[in-house]
Structure 1
């Protein structure tokens, strides 16, 4: 039961969320010695709220994907084979209320009560994604990728923004721009991965009446569209590397070997992908690229 529960909430993904947010605060922010708002415990609550909302989103997605998952990944299906739908709905509600409640507390703590709407909107979008938006070509992919980017931005909104003063606003602005750069990276890579997952799940989606890019234009054309979109993060990362990192050899090596290299492998293999297993491997590759890109936040204490 416990292992099934961890699988249901996508425990590995949640660990990446926690690692990313902790690196932002304790590697990026501390490296620049900038002013922050949240103490250790309150920052822990921010991470907890983020994880609760993300876990709830994973659960509601599985609850509305029972029939599709039965066709696409029967061996990995958790609901209803291992966990009942009733338990899943109850856990979804508990996690959502907990996440939104903590968000309300933190918003008032930092003197920005209006920020509590952020957690409410994110929760609502995750519900809409599970129930409707994922069926709209590309819209669902874009929405979920924006929410992945929010994992990064929300740290800046709660810990960085309230601490801005006329004296430190230039430094704070530089740090926030770095967060936006990472959020953009997360958005682009996750968007590619969502589109690849649509390729992987095309059979189940088609048989359950859903629409997606490969269903609309065919797998071959979808491959070419994803390939073209994949050139954008690849070119952006190379430009960013030579614009901002060229003076640090270790950072350049990290980016070339662990991010640019795998993205090139992804692009080369994508055009020849035809079977479900091919797309599953490409999806995993992008997940690794995402993780390595976000974990590069840990390099800042060594390159500043």
Structure 2
């Protein structure tokens, strides 16, 4: 019995030390090793308690205490295994991203965080952020906002090793995107800004490798989004279903080119699992390019 008590105290001391140092270093492996030492200590304690129960005249004390200690060990193993497996799969604790959003609230000039991806590399946290700022701001001003955000992130997350911050270019590059593939097409109508509960984004006519297409670049949307453009022509209605790009589900595009002229009244029909809405709009070609 004395040996069991000494074994429990010694293993628990080692466990507390390893867990504390592991948390300071953000080492999931060292923390798991500390929990391993704790299970060894519980095993020693089970022997002592079982022997004490039998000595007091309770022969079932040994198996009962053994089962209880086994359940405790299972709980400890699950806790440590979950942390190690999460990190091995590039996962992070739920509170990490909440801290990132909280840090961004302390930085002026950030309209919203578009995307956050965080992961552990060794003992250091690495995060990739996409933020939205006022498009009218200069590059110098935008970089100053990013630098302020990095300082806030470091203050909220001492384990942060690196923060890669990119700017959401939505809307900034919208007009030039019609020339992505080098086609000599310089009279695309101004894009239509879509603002609705179902989806927000930009609807425009762009040049692609396969020719002109109607493209809906989505900023945010509800689940199950579908989009159709109906163009009112003098003698008929031209229907252009927009389908998701295989490389980017935030981009819906027609499979055929919209007919000329590119000056028309139309309706963008949006539907999702939550409902539907019709958004009327008009596209006009720039002066000097009308057909």
Q: TM-score range by the shorter chain?
A: under 0.3
Please identify the structure whose Cα radius of gyration is greater. Answer: 2
- Provide the TM-score with structure 2 as the length reference: 0.24
Higher strand share: 2
Higher helix share: 1
- Provide the TM-score with structure 1 as the length reference: 0.23
